Amino acid sequence: MDFHNILRLVHITGFAAWFGTIFASMFLLKTLEPGMTDEAAKASEYKGLLMRYIGLETKVADVAVVAVLFSGLLLAHFYHGWTIWVVVKIVLLLLQIALTMAYIFRKIQPITYPCDTARFSSWYVLFTISLGMFGIVLAVTFFLL
């Protein structure tokens, strides 16, 4: 296997792992929602589980993001060149990271549990932002590049 194929494998695998962490988080939070919005005892137990999960999920997502960015930069530098579409894809990925992190700091971190269902729905807005940006990046990648 040559270096180009290895970089592509790392890039695609990293992107899939990053995408997968979003779906796994969405399914976990949907499962935990009744306990996180109901009684305090259950919410306390579930909060511990959620915090542990987020710690582990963040490690996987961080490695995946670094793999996507690093392998993408290497692919651009050595094989594809620095075209406008490569720059657009980089900007979209950085925008996705910035929007996600900003929303987490402003809306997700302040949530205390148990909370009402409307407050808990902030999580679903986060997933909408993340999955929407993934859709845009994939559309640019597959239809415009």
Phi/psi at 81 (5° precision): 85, 170
Answer whether residue 43 shows pLDDT above 90: no
Question: Mean pLDDT, to the nearest integer, of 39-64?
Answer: 91
Cis peptide leading into 34, omega within 30 of 0?
A: no
Tokens of 144: 């415009």
pTM of the full structure: 0.88
Closest CA to 117 of 42, 33, 40: 33
pLDDT of residue 145: 63
Share of the chain above pLDDT 90, in %: 79
Question: Mean pLDDT, to the nearest integer, of 117-139?
Answer: 94
pLDDT of residue 122: 95
Longest dimension (CA), the chain: 56
Question: Mean pLDDT, to the nearest integer, of 32-61?
Answer: 91
Question: Mean pLDDT, to the nearest integer, of 72-101?
Answer: 92
Answer whether residue 71 shows pLDDT above 80: yes
pLDDT of residue 142: 81
Average pLDDT taken over every residue of the chain: 92
